[in-house]
A and B are shown apart, each in its own frame.
Chain A
Amino acid sequence: MNAAIRTENLEKHFGRTAALDGVSLAVPEGAIYALVGRNGAGKTTLMKLLMNILRPSRGTAQVLNADATRLAGKGFCGIGYVSENQQLPDWMTVGALLDFCRPFYPTWDRALAGELVAQFDLPLDRRLRQLSRGMRMKAAFVSALAYRPRLIVLDEPFSGLDPLVRDELVDSLLELAGESTIFISSHDLAEIESLASHVGYLEEGHLLFSEEMSTLSERFRDVTVTLPEAAAARADFPAACIDVQIAGPVVRFVHTQYEGAATERQVAEAFPSALSIVYDPMPLRAIFLAVAKSQRDRARLAQTNARTVNV
């Protein structure tokens, strides 16, 4: 598999704080890879490492088959990077921004730029500082997409935008899907779900999973077991089962390694008296919440155990 982005044990420390800890991932060429995670999980740090804005403390990162720490100059001709925090040259008009960017890129497509400007309804004669946040983001998108980059890296591009602008931006991205690899971080899981082909989940600097959306959807099942009488709390749930909730005779959990009949047989054996067992596919948001909750519970349990040992 050709990877547009590949990292190996990537680490970034700010003083004693590990913003990223041993992140290894591969983003296949042509994929739309969504990097999700809570605030402070390390998404922006990872993106900045990939763009050579920050330097890694340890590990390696390859972007378009080049060492990310050497990414500079012409290396950016094939990369479009847009970040919610990016400081654009506010004194320029939209037209001047596009005119200024054009000579940097041999592959600049004037027609595409014109189409995007028209699609986004961007006023070419207005200064960027006079535009709304949404319009500025659109201008940044045009300046990053008009040269048909091989890799598009978007750091929280939809954050704080109204749904209409979001839809316009997503549409513009989907038009380039296939010819470009898109690496996007976002909180907006519903939006990502409609867009992404691959997803990675980052939690406190650790990459908990990184796979195709379809595999992920296949792997996660919301399991509801109805028993004849109130179930007792039990600790023998396999590690693949997370977010276990028991409410009277109903036991609910998320199975993270669902493999069809084989998994259903195992669960049936675990609950021989079950009146019914229902397996529901899960949306990305539900998977995200279940994994996040499970991680939080594990962290708390580890803290409790540590305290017990210390006592």
Chain B
Amino acid sequence: MKQILHIFRKDVRRLWIEILLSVVAAALFAWVIPKSWMVGPIWMQNPYQEIAVLANLLLPLSWGLLIARLIHGEVLVGDRQFWITRPYEWPKLLAAKVLFIALFVYLPFLLMEVSILWQAGFSPLSYVPGIFYRLLLISLVFFPLIGLATVTSNLARMVLTLLGIFVIFLFLVSGIAFSTRGDSERWTFSPVPWGGIVTVAFALLVCGAVIVLQYARRRVVVARLLLGSTPFLVLLVSWLCNTGLTVDHAYPAAAQIDASVIRMIPFDQDDRGKACFACSRSESEHSVLNNMNPGAKKWAVIKVKVRSSGVAAGDRWQLDAFRPTLTPASGAPLKLDWQQGQQTFDKPDQPNSFHYEVLDVLIPRADYERLKSSPLTLHLDFALTEARPAWSRQFPLPEGKFMIPEFASCATMANRPVETLGILAVDCRFPLRAPQLTTVSATETIGPCGAAPAQTADRALPVYETVLGDFDTAPADFGISPMEERQFLGSPNNNAITIINGKTVNDAQASRLCPGTPVVVTQYRKVRAVQTGMTIENYRLAAQ
């Protein structure tokens, strides 16, 4: 312990300026971020936002500088260092560095998080696991920085290496984005709830191994190779977490006779699939063919309309992913990989009404060309999550800042004059992470806001509803600021089309959210995850 403290004291004496800079940056961040949260009319400039941008840059830079200077105090690269022939015991040297980083990097970060949570109106004591989980997540920045410092001999080399990594990363990302355009969402589907945690843990483990290896053995070449391969190893683990095997594990097949499971039904049996090459998956059904898009050469997007049946009142089913299989009359079936879905299904609260959702099914272009002329059997496997309301709150939509206790700190951005134009957007900040699956709904007012606000019971008016969050169970999200921001506009949700009494109602330009309108916030809890399927016989792909 004596040696640990001795080395620690030496580092403090040496790096007091860097420590001061880092602490000042953390204090600045904690001070300016809450002030930068916008309140009031959208056109009003918040002067703190520019300082907040600066603080967002300054803080990671000060961490990087402090960590690099600390580790390079006893350089682990090369054979001319004074300390390597002195009675340093590597575990104690490492412990001294860990103590330093804990006190001057992690602790200020922790205090900064607590302060921002407090200023946002949340008691930090209610979020202790999340706060500590964020310390783990922020290690995804610190550990690679420490690892990089252990395999470089000085700050200049470390900065150059970081720049090199950044350039390579940009090159790779743009290369991947270019070559996979049109199916990029296939990469984002994470079917297992623990996939993210496993990937984080693995990344930290590899970086930790590099750090320990360097301190214990100073095997620079091995450590550099290991550190350099970390992103690829992490990608591999991430991929392993997302394979079909893990989907089957995370979403067990529902029993055929289980009446409590949602049934997925083709919306229109006679509807021919409409193909759209290289359409973004969020684009409308009638996307324009863009031959300049490289994805057009690889993928065709088939629009498949589905609706649901058998959803219990209050329940909400989220379609997390789907897996298409196309079987021609003759020939082998084409079984594709899991693709991400984002749709939700619930029991319509109005009689004789139902929702349908459009799935964008990606099919390799070559297979599309091969199969388009023959009738097919289209089978879709669905990975679905059932959710039930955990709690629900109703309150009149206020103007300005307001709190939803233990849930979010929000502010409305009004469109002046609010009396006629209503609320333009609602900006909410959630402590530590985006919320668990939550719906926010309000009945919109048609016409100016001056009249009495719409009431939820008025079924003739369009209902504004937005879905926030997901079923991720991690207690916190990655980030520097502990407040996760989500903004939702006071305009109709265009993702779902509402049909009332057989008439499509999707033109609500004159409708708006008005102050005082009752808002219902409902948070859901995950009940189960199941796999189910749907088959469409005699399915034909559209000819182009």
Contact = CB atoms under 8 A, between A and B. Distances in A.
A103 B88 CA distance: 11
Q: Which of B6, B75, B79, B90 has the most CB of A within 10 A?
A: B79
Contacts of B79: 48, 53-54
Contact of B80 (A74, A75, A86, A91): A86
Interface string B75-93: 1001111111111111000
B503 interface: no
Contacts of B89: 72-74
Interface string B307-329: 00000000000000000000000
Interface of B: prevailing SS: helix
B297 interface: no
B80 A104 contact: no
A77 B87 contact: yes
Contacts of A258: none
B10 A87 contact: no
A91 B86 contact: no
Nearest to B84: A53
A103 B2 contact: yes
A73 B85 contact: no
Interface string A80-94: 010101111101000
A150 to B, nearest CB: 13
Nearest to A80: B85
B214 to A, nearest CB: 14
A264 B83 CA distance: 54
Contacts of A89: 73, 82-83
B85 A81 contact: yes
B81 to A, nearest CB: 6
A101 interface: yes
B17 to A, nearest CB: 12
Q: Which of A48, A79, A83, A87 has the most CB of B within 10 A?
A: A87
A85 B81 CA distance: 9
Given A103-B6, A104-B3, A88 B82 contact: yes
A169 interface: no
Contacts of A253: none
B427 to A, nearest CB: 48
Interface string A45-59: 000100101100000
Contacts of A104: 3, 6, 86-88
A209 interface: no
Interface residues of B, number: 20
A288 interface: no
B86 A87 contact: no
Contact of B85 (A53, A74, A103): A53
Interface in A70-118: 72-77, 79, 81, 83, 85-89, 91, 100-101, 103-105
Q: Which of B14, B80, B82, B89 has the most CB of A within 10 A?
A: B82
Given A73-B88, A74-B87, A103 B3 contact: yes
A292 B2 CA distance: 51
B12 to A, nearest CB: 13
B87 A86 contact: no
Interface string B4-35: 00100010001000000000000000000000
A76 B87 contact: yes
B6 A86 contact: no
Contacts of B86: 76, 101, 104
Interface in B85-113: 85-90
Contacts of A77: 87
Given A91-B14, A103-B2, A85 B87 contact: no
A86 B3 contact: no
Contacts of B83: 89
A51 B85 contact: yes
B298 to A, nearest CB: 45
Interface string A165-190: 00000000000000000000000000
A30 to B, nearest CB: 21
Nearest to B91: A73
B90 A73 contact: yes
Contacts of A100: 6, 10
A87 B88 contact: no
Nearest to B13: A96
A286 B2 CA distance: 52
6 contacts: A48-B79, A74-B87, A87-B80, A87-B82, A101-B86, A103-B3
Given A72-B89, A73-B90, A76-B88, 6 more contacts: A74-B89, A77-B87, A87-B75, A88-B82, A89-B73, A100-B6
Interface of B: 2-3, 6, 10, 14, 73, 75, 78-90
Nearest first, the 4 closest Cβ-Cβ pairs linking A and B are: A73-B89, A81-B85, A76-B87, A53-B79
